[in-house]
Amino acid sequence: MTSSMTFQPVLERIAEDIGRMPDRGRPAGYIPALAACDPARFGMAVAEPDGTVYGVGEWRTPFSAQSVTKVFTLALDLAREGDALWEHVGREPSGNPFNSLVQLEYEGGIPRNPFINAGALVVTDRLHTRTGDAAAELLTFLRTESGNPGLAFDLDVAASEDAHGDRNAALAHFMASYGNIASPVPVLLDQYFRQCSVAASCADLALATGFLARHGVRADGSRLLSRSQAKQVNAVMLTCGTYDAAGDFAYRVGLPGKSGVGGGIIAVVPGRCTLCVWGPGLDERGNSVSGVAALDRFTTLTGLSVF
């Protein structure tokens, strides 16, 4: 690509291609508040490091960010405690479903990475102990970086997840038994479910992810992460960001990315742009079918990837 102005026609071409897809997966049925989403809905945004943003489809429609938010809590905690975080959570792909209990037992209560549910609970717990309100810290960050002060938690979604949150409670209690959770488990679960319930649009999330394209620098020019820490977050996104399909995502898309069961995926082209795509229909591993296809098309059409 020779000019950023070519992003818009690329996005329009991708939207046309996605519109012809016969099967776009199924919404997350195990969270009742998400189960009614139409898999045919689609939006995509690209944000440049200077805050210029392009979009197509429902790119300004808020949706449930879900596990996409795990990137931001990871960055916020890493900025506070640095490498000490990695004593409590690993950096390796899990190879198991995102809510699996199996590895925790034989790895002594240390989750494999920060993006499976167990790892995200640890990160939220550590951020909460440092700030007193991890969910509020996250929301403030997202509002500031996106430039959208109207971002909010969807308390109906949070309540829906809480009512069906036995597996997450089990993970938290199990890690607490190993001394890897400091907060009372009910407090941690409330923080975690609110974190996942943030409603944001593709434009909001593409802009909020910009610090990773700017090598750790926030929208106002202040530094959140060192250049090395931003590299670390991008690396963990590439290897662990799409549940147990990260290898296939790296093969097809070639970018650091993080998905959520609300149908969103964020992705980073370091130094060049950040993306967010939304399509609520998921594949069997919990990733947006149209979202992965759209990002695949984007890197193919533009030649932008980390490889």
3-state DSSP assignment of residue 41:
coil
Residue with tokens 């990315």: 257
Q: Which helix or strand (DSSP H or E) is residue 64 part of?
A: strand 63-64
178 has catalytic annotation = no
Q: What angle do CA 208, 212, 213 make, to 5 degrees?
A: 100
- From 46, 123, 261, 292, active-site residue: 261
Q: What is the DSSP string of 131-147?
A: HS-HHHHHHHHHHHHHT
Alpha carbon distances (Å) from 107 to 119, 178, 183, 191, 277: 12, 10, 21, 25, 34
- From 64, 67, 201, 259, active-site residue: 67
89 has catalytic annotation = no
Q: How far is CA 212 from the centre of its chain?
A: 13
Beta strands in 65-185, from DSSP E residues, in sequence order: 152-153
54 has catalytic annotation = no
243 has catalytic annotation = yes
Q: What phi and psi values does residue 265 have, to the nearest 5 degrees? A: -140, 130
Q: What angle do CA 152, 118, 209 make, to 5 degrees?
A: 45
Q: Where are the alpha helices (DSSP H) in the chain?
A: 7-19, 32-35, 70-81, 102-106, 117-131, 134-146, 155-163, 166-177, 185-196, 202-208, 210-213, 227-240, 246-252, 289-302
Residue 280 in contact with residue 36, Cβ under 8 Å? no
Q: What is the DSSP letter of 268?
A: E
Residue 123 in contact with residue 89, Cβ under 8 Å? yes
- From 68, 243, 288, 289, active-site residue: 243
CA-based end-to-end distance of the chain: 15
- From 53, 64, 100, 192, active-site residue: 192
- From 64, 68, 70, 259, active-site residue: 70
Residue 41 in contact with residue 279, Cβ under 8 Å? yes
30 has catalytic annotation = no
Task: Please list the active-site residues.
Answer: 67, 70, 192, 243, 261
